[in-house]
């Protein structure tokens, strides 16, 4: 089974918020095909904008989405990155699109301040969530119906996930690869990317194991940098 991973792009998106998950899912798919040439790809990854146009990310990086709201394929895994999201929160067409895509997706996940877009769409009401450490208080005050969790790399509610800031999106995406395709492929993906999970993520996986039974255990050694 191939899952379509759609990543939303918008003006002032944080580059690593979308590029980290993009790299994780495309690398995982490439490695699965290398290991099992006759199997279907694990993931088909594409970007989506409101329109087919040049999108200016933070720090001036110019992007071109693969699809727009009217033309993209069905999305199984929806990734909403963060960045400067105030303008996006006020755009009703964006919030309605996020809500409608989440309704049909297997998984919806945000990175960093992308959680504010999920919250604006009403998707996090009554759920646990996290975001960039600088924005935890704003998320709590702006959306009192959300249980905001500090000090974690991601929060997994099953079909809805949120991650902490920027690089945490990589770890959340590896966690999703493990959930959807198994620990072995997630481990191989992290190794191929030469990505060493943070000590916080390792502690979180260990703490979550008795509660969910789902977290990835990366069989890798981290350099002694912490």
Q: In angstroms, how far apart are the furthest CA atoms of the chain?
A: 50
- Tell me if residue 112 is catalytic: yes
Closest CA to 220 of 205, 194, 209: 194
What does the alpha-carbon distance between residue 52 and residue 44 come to, in Å, rounded to a whole number?
A: 19
115 close to 164: Cβ distance less than 8 angstroms = no
Nearest residue to 171 via CA among 103, 125, 218, 207 = 218
Distance CA 42, CA 1 (A): 7
Helix axes 168-181, 15-35, angle to 10 degrees: 30
Catalytic residue among 77, 105, 109, 112: 112
Distance from C-alpha of 212 to C-alpha of 165, rounded to nearest angstrom: 23
Nearest-10 crossing angle of helices 168-181, 199-212: 40
DSSP one-letter code for 2: P
Active-site residues: which are they?
A: 112
């Amino acid at each position: 089974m191939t899952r379509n991973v759609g990543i939303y792009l918008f003006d002032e998106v944080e580059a690593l918020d979308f590029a980290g998950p993009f790299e994780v899912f495309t690398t995982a798919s490439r490695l699965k095909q290398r290991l099992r040439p006759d199997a279907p790809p694990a993931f088909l990854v594409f970007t989506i904008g409101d329109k087919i146009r040049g999108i200016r990310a933070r720090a001036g990086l110019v992007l071109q989405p693969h699809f727009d709201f009217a033309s993209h394929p069905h999305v199984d895994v929806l990734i909403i990155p963060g960045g400067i999201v105030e303008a996006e929160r006020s755009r009703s067409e964006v919030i309605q699109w996020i809500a409608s895509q989440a309704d049909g997706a297997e998984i919806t996940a945000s990175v960093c301040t992308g959680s504010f877009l999920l919250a604006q769409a009403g998707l996090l009401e009554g759920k646990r969530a996290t975001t960039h450490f600088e924005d935890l208080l704003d998320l709590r005050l702006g959306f009192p119906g959300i249980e905001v969790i500090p000090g974690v790399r991601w929060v997994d509610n099953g079909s809805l996930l949120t991650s902490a800031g920027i690089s945490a999106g990589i770890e959340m995406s590896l966690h999703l690869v493990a959930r959807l395709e198994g620990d072995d492929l997630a481990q191989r993906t992290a190794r191929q990317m030469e990505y060493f999970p943070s000590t916080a993520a390792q502690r979180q996986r260990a703490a979550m194991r008795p509660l969910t039974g789902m977290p990835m255990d990366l069989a890798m050694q981290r350099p002694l940098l912490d």
